[in-house]
Amino acid sequence: MKTAHLLLYCLAAVFLPADEPNLIPESGQPRLRKPGGFNLELLPKAFASNPRIEMTVYSERTAYGRTLRDPSPEHPVYYVAHSEGYKPMGSSPIRENPPAQEKIDALLQGVLAKRSFLPAREISHPPALALFYYWGSHSGLDVRDVMASPELISLRRRDILERARLVGGLDNVQKMARQMDEGIPIHERMAREQHLQYQAAHDLYYVVVSAYDFAALTRGERKLAWRTTLTVNDQGVSMRETLPPLIISAMDFFGRDTGESLALQRRINRGSVTLGPLIIIGTALPDPEPAPTK
């Protein structure tokens, strides 16, 4: 498998899609939050011992990806992975102290294994997929700076739409651009919509994992099977303390079609790895449909 890994790394530099960075849980059972409900936080997150973090998960499979069988414990799907590392984005990128590469690698490998995606380490298990992943922060212009310098409005709009793509894909970008053009006040939107719009309007941390057909990649073809994007609001919290629970909370969604962006909330206890209950704002994800028989 060393040969396969080396081949993948060489191909990554040439065939990793140009649009990857440009336009840019195991603890606790999910439960639905009642529409319109809200929680009042009396203590700012920076000072709270167990702050609640706001997250989103958006996962989509391509037409090709939908023809592939869903992995199962009896029939896992094998992959090789390549990390693109930490990527700060936005008009005002801030270099943070991100989690160690090894920690992100281990977390992703662990949650993918729960979905029956396993590393291809033996000749008897050749890789079907090549996974590329990266993470970072997206920091835009401060609204006060924009108010003082109207010429920055277009840059702020670009930042918001870039984050909207991370939050919910191209459909969310188009929807938010339309709402911005129409001037729809945020208080007139549903609770889930408010959550997604707030996430896109503020700085955040993110993780992107993309899966390509391995055999096609070795032929120089970029054949995307699925892409999963995760975000967490960065207000009062650090990347090191929020990326791990973000990845764990998205455990059940990697490689699946969520249909729409899922808005999640979870409490974390600082100084430990304990996670509070996971809350999903919106509709629970249905069981995946079996791939068409060939």
Summarised one tens digit per residue, pLDDT across range 40-60 is 455 566 657 788 888 889 999
The strand ranges marked E within 48-174 are 52-61, 77-86, 117-119, 129-138
- Separation CA 270–CA 259 (nearest Å): 33
Residue 79 lies in a domain: yes
Total domains in the chain come to 1
Structural domain boundaries, residue 191 = 2-13+25-281
Average pLDDT, whole number, for the chain?
A: 75
User: Which of 101-105, 169-173, 181-185 shows the highest mean pLDDT?
Assistant: 101-105
Residue 18 lies in a domain: no
Residue 286 lies in a domain: no
Cβ neighbors of 186 (< 8 A, separation 6 or more) are 194, 197, 198
Start-to-end Cα distance in the chain:
29
- Separation CA 74–CA 222 (nearest Å): 28
74, exposed or middle or buried, with CB in 10 Å at 0-12, 13-18, 19+? exposed
* pLDDT attached to residue 22: 31
Residue 139 lies in a domain: yes
Least confident among 82-96, 149-163, 179-193: 179-193
Summarised one tens digit per residue, pLDDT across range 115-133 is 999 999 888 899 999 999 9
Residue 19 lies in a domain: no
Three-state DSSP state, 92: coil
* pLDDT attached to residue 57: 92
Q: Which residues of 152-169 are buried (b: 16+ CB within 10 A; e: fewer)?
A: beebbbebbbbbbbbbbb
Nearest Cα to 85, choosing from 176, 164, 12? 12
Residue 141 lies in a domain: yes
- Whether the model clears a pTM of 0.75, i.e. scores above it, the answer is no
Nearest Cα to 215, choosing from 294, 142, 126? 126
Summarised one tens digit per residue, pLDDT across range 183-234 is 655 444 555 666 666 776 778 899 999 999 999 999 999 999 999 999 998 8
